[in-house]
Amino acid sequence: MTAAHNIKEALKAALAALSISASEVPLEHPAVLENGDYSTSIALKYAKELKTTPRALAERMVAALDAVDGVAKVEVAGAGFVNFFLTNAAVAEAIESARTKEWGRGSINTGKKVMVEYTDPNPFKEFHIGHLMSNAIGEATARLIEYSGAEVKRANYQGDVGPHVAKAIWGLRKLTLDPTDAAALGTAYAAGASAFEDDGSARAEIDAINAKIYDRSDPEINAVYDAGRAASLAHFEDIYASLGTKFDFYFFESETAPEGLQLVAAHPEIFVKSEGAVVYQGEKAGLHTRVFITSKGLPTYETKELGLARMKAQKWPFDQSITVTAHEQSGYFEVVIAAMREVFPDLAAKIKHISHGMMRLSSGKMASRRGNVITGESLLADLTEAAKERAAESRADDTEALARQIAVAAIKYQILKQASGRDIIFERDRALSLEGDSGPYIQYTHARAHQVVEKAREQKVSAKIDAAAEATELSRLLHRFPEAVEYAVRELEPHLLTNYLLEFASAFNRWYAKEQILDGTPAAAHKVALADAARSTLKNGLWLLGIPAPEKM
RNA sequence: GCCCCUGUAGCUUAAUGGAUAAAGCAGCGCUCUUCUAAGGCGUUGAUCUGGGUUCGACUCCUAGCGGGGGCACCA
């Protein structure tokens, strides 16, 4: 059993001995290691009730506490905290685990089946930095859940029908652009979108195209559509590959639309006629009304979402289906989930929406029809370019590949280091930074650890853990890794892991600067083991964030 | 107007109701004949405002003020 578990049990017993009935024993990591490896503030909570001071209660608790396996010292500190310090052997055990097991893997989701849907770009439109954000958060979320024992399937839902497609096709025809050229599609969409807003006859033409996309009655439009769709999807596939995402399932709005229409038609008591459209009256759930079928008889995104939910469940029966999108869709999702609760309550209970902030420019919101969109690939290309210079001076065998890995790390880290509820103000210079609190910093730390372990191997210095070796800042932080992973999983907040990883990397670099690992003494064996454990921690941590971990930089 | 998110150092962000609010960038000063200086060390600097709850509030409640998003045929 883990030290944390032992401490909790011992505390519960001590509290019972003092006849305090605490339903929960809070145990936390003190912010500074001087205050121990674990700490509880429970004495502060119950002192008043027992008409004593927190410190006095804490002293009594410590006196009533049995010896805990893995704990070397218990002390009362500050206002009445009880602090626990791990034994050197317990910390050494973590070093051992880090080197031999799937370090950090948990079991809180064992046996669960979870589908995670993310990225969700729209064919015929750009893959912009917002999609990059959804991808980074979704991929990290999927990996975290997977690492906690669940079976995870990655899903991508792409809008291959709808007004945006009609606008792009209208633009392709007007400007006689090549539909097989992915870059031309963005231009075509921008032209169609602005014409739709400014020009009445263009709007009518686009509406007509939209209807034909759904019913596929016009061979010429079908040809343009099929070519453009294929080009778009192939283009996206390259981006997923460079980001390290591999989807298990692809869903398309062209498939979810008929499915959704069927569901809406089958429930006239839930979806009612209003002003020529078919709507769901969200007011009964404290929300707002949303249109499911337009007055032209076409399904909206809402209807498609309904169809999607059923299709997902048919494709792969899951315990939970998580959809990752930007905040702007939160209100929409609440209404759709409220409707689902009426249509299929059992399934609705398994659907979860996670929203994240928006990727914003300092100049305001991005909009593809205004043309101030930063595409995902242009950003990655810029970052790769910026990383090339450093990569060229590195020890990497393939500097081009390294530059790309660094670029992915830089952008993903920037997204994953902050709480997901907040907007990210995108600033080019900061995204291009390869130093300090950045993805490449963690990668560099990992590469250093990897190389020193390699060198030890070459010099035939074998790793050997000295259970009596004094626990250090680095080894004590290392011990926390599995808990940091679990915390991030419970909260479904990758940035909690990012924070930990930064702190850990920083501790490693401090240690590395101060301590010569291969110093020719018998102490080297333990230090090599610690370096190897750090390497494994950084490697697994980066993997969980979806960031590549090159071995040489 | 209503609903959701959000306000921390000059800038970008952390902080599980808990101990001295933590980093990076920018600035200044050190540090490579030692396993990678994309590193390390030092230094200046912050909780939007008013009430409240609590032994204890950046965190919870409340009233303001500022920013973002959403609210019927877009996704």
The domains of chain A are located at 3-86, 118-361, 376-545
What is the crossing angle of helices A399-416 and A376-392, to 10°? 120
Distance, CA of A209 to CA of A225 (rounded, Å): 10
Question: Measured CA to C1', what is the nucleotide nearest A410?
Answer: B38
Whole-angstrom CA distances from A218 to A44, A210, A214, A215, A284 are 74, 11, 10, 8, 42
Percent of chain A with pLDDT over 70: 98
Identify nearest nucleotide to residue A456 by CA to C1′ distance.
B35
Q: How far is the CA of A440 from the C1' of B3 (A)?
A: 40
Nearest to A411 by CA among A135, A168, A194, A84: A135
In this prediction, residue A25 carries a pLDDT of 87
Which 3 state secondary structure label does DSSP give A466?
A: coil
Q: How far is the CA of A258 from the C1' of B74 (A)?
A: 19
Tokens of A85: 């310090």
Nucleotide nearest to A295 (CA to C1'): B73
Residue A12 has which token pair? Answer: 């519960």
Closest amino acid to nucleotide B56 (CA–C1'): A44
A422 touches strand B (CB under 7 A): yes
Average pLDDT over residues A485-491: 95
Of all nucleotides in the shown strands, which has a C1' nearest the CA of A125? B75
Does the pLDDT value for residue A261 go beyond 70?
A: yes
Instruction: Evaluate if residue A320 carries a pLDDT over 70.
Output: yes
User: If pLDDT is split at 50, 70 and 90, which confidence band does A528 have?
Assistant: very high
Q: Any idea which of A49-53, A104-108, A110-114, A437-441 has the lowest mean pLDDT?
A: A49-53
Q: Are A163 and A213 in contact (CB under 8 A)?
A: no
Task: Say yes or no: Cβ of A417 under 7 A from any atom of strand B.
Answer: yes
In the structure encoding, which two tokens stand for residue A289, read together?
């009304």
Whether residue A334 has pLDDT greater than 80: yes
pLDDT, tens digit (0-9, with 9 covering 90-100), for A413-460: 999 999 988 888 877 777 778 889 999 999 999 999 999 999 999 999
Q: CA torsion sign, A268 to A272 to A278 to A282?
A: negative
What's the pLDDT score for residue A197? Answer: 83
Given this model, what pLDDT does residue A48 score?
A: 87
- A101: confidence class by pLDDT, cuts 50, 70, 90: confident
Asked if residues A192 and A170 have their Cβ atoms less than 8 Å apart, the reply is: yes
pTM of the predicted model over 0.90: yes
Provide the CA A364 to C1' B48 distance, Å, integer: 22
User: Residue A41 CB closer than 7 angstroms to strand B?
Assistant: yes
At A84 the pLDDT is 97
The residues, ordered by sequence, that sit 6+ positions from A91 with a Cβ below 8 Å of its Cβ are A471, A475, A476, A478, A479
Per-residue flag: A406 CB under 7 A of strand B: yes
Across A535-552, average pLDDT: 97
3-state secondary structure A248-259: CEEEEHHHHHHH
Mean pLDDT of A389-394: 91
Task: Check whether A500 has a pLDDT greater than 70.
Answer: yes
Q: Which of A141-145, A185-189, A519-523 has the highest mean pLDDT?
A: A141-145
- Which nucleotides of chain B does any protein CB come within 7 A of? 3-7, 12-20, 22-26, 34-36, 38-41, 54-56, 68-75
pLDDT at A362: 63
Q: Establish whether the CB of A52 is closer than 7 Å to any nucleic acid atom in strand B.
A: no
Q: What is the pLDDT of residue A432?
A: 77
Domain A118-361 matching CATH 3.40.50.620: the answer reads yes
> Which residues in chain A, range 171-190, keep a C-beta under 7 Å from any nucleic strand B atom?
none
Query: Among residues A340, A494, A468, which one has the least CA distance to residue A415?
Result: A494
Could you say which residues 64-83 of protein chain A have a Cβ atom less than 7 A away from any atom in strand B? 77-79, 81, 83
- Give percent above pLDDT 90 in chain A: 83
CA A29 to C1' B44 (Å) is 30
* Sheet with A151-158, edge to edge strand ranges: A249-252, A151-158, A113-117, A320-326, A351-356
Phi and psi dihedrals of A479, rounded to 5? -55, -25
Give the model's pLDDT for residue A428: 73
Q: Is any atom of nucleic acid chain B found less than 7 Å from the CB of residue A39? A: yes
Q: Is the CB of A328 under 7 A from strand B?
A: yes
Distance CA A31, CA A113 (A): 35
Decide: CB of A258 under 7 A of nucleic strand B: no
| Span CA (A83) to C1' (B12), Å | 34
Q: Is the CB of A418 under 7 A from strand B?
A: yes
What ipTM did this prediction achieve?
A: 0.96
CB of A179 within 8 A of CB of A185?
Answer: yes
Would you place residue A396 in the very low, low, confident or very high pLDDT band (cuts 50, 70, 90)?
A: very high
Tell me the CA–C1' distance in angstroms for A513 and B37.
10
User: What phi and psi values does residue A19 have, to the nearest 5 degrees?
Assistant: 45, 50
pLDDT tens-digit series, residues A2-40: 899 999 999 999 999 888 877 788 899 999 999 999 999
Work out the pLDDT band at A406, boundaries 50, 70, 90.
very high
Strand B–CB A461 distance below 7 A: no
Find the helix packing angle between A182-198 and A163-174, rounded to 10°. 100
Non-local (6+) Cβ contacts of A16 within 8 A are none
Q: How far apart are CA A89 and CA A97, in angstroms?
A: 12
Quick check: helix, strand or coil at residue A478? helix
pLDDT digits (tens, 9 = 90+) for A117-175: 999 999 999 898 889 999 999 999 999 999 999 999 999 999 999 899 999 999 999 99
Q: Looking at domain A376-545, which of 3.30.465.10, 1.10.730.10, 3.90.1200.10, 3.90.550.10 is its CATH number?
A: 1.10.730.10
CATH superfamily assigned to domain A3-86: Arginyl tRNA synthetase N-terminal domain (3.30.1360.70)
Q: Most distant CA pair in chain A: distance in Å?
A: 85
The predicted pLDDT at position A364 comes to 56
A369 touches strand B (CB under 7 A): no
pLDDT digits (tens, 9 = 90+) for A335-375: 999 999 999 999 999 999 999 998 877 655 555 555 567 78
* Strand B at less than 7 A from CB of A435: yes
Residue A194 has pLDDT above 90, yes or no: no
**Which window residues (510-529, chain A) lie with Cβ within 7 Å of strand B?**
510, 512-518
